[in-house]
Amino acid sequence: MQGLTRSPRGFFQVSPDLVIEIFSPKNRVEEIHEKIVEYFENEMRLVGGSYPAEKYALTDQAL
């Protein structure tokens, strides 16, 4: 952030390349699917998910 005279305010209008979601046993499959679809609709490139209770993780990437 060289050259800035003060800290930026507000939010950047960009999507991160990667999102990681930690799912709980209460999350339904439909909820998880909707979240993943929403991430890709908002230009995410890579989505990761973790299910700690089952010791399971997944990744999916945009085409």
Reported as a single tens digit per residue, the pLDDT across 16-44 is 889 999 999 899 989 988 998 998 998 88
Other C-beta atoms lying within 10 Å of the C-beta of residue 34: 11
Amino acid in position 14: V
SS3 label, residue 40? helix
Band of residue 47 on the pLDDT scale cut at 50, 70, 90: very high
What is the arithmetic mean of pLDDT over 50-55?
A: 88
Q: For the chain, what is the mean pLDDT? A: 85
Provide the residue ranges of all domains of the chain, joining segments of one domain with +. 18-61
How far apart are alpha carbons 47 and 37 in whole angstroms?
10
pLDDT of 14 above 90? no
Q: Name the burial class of residue 41, with classes exposed (0-12), middle (13-18) and buried (19+) by CB atoms within 10 angstroms of its CB.
A: exposed
Task: Identify the residue with better confidence: 14 or 19.
Answer: 19
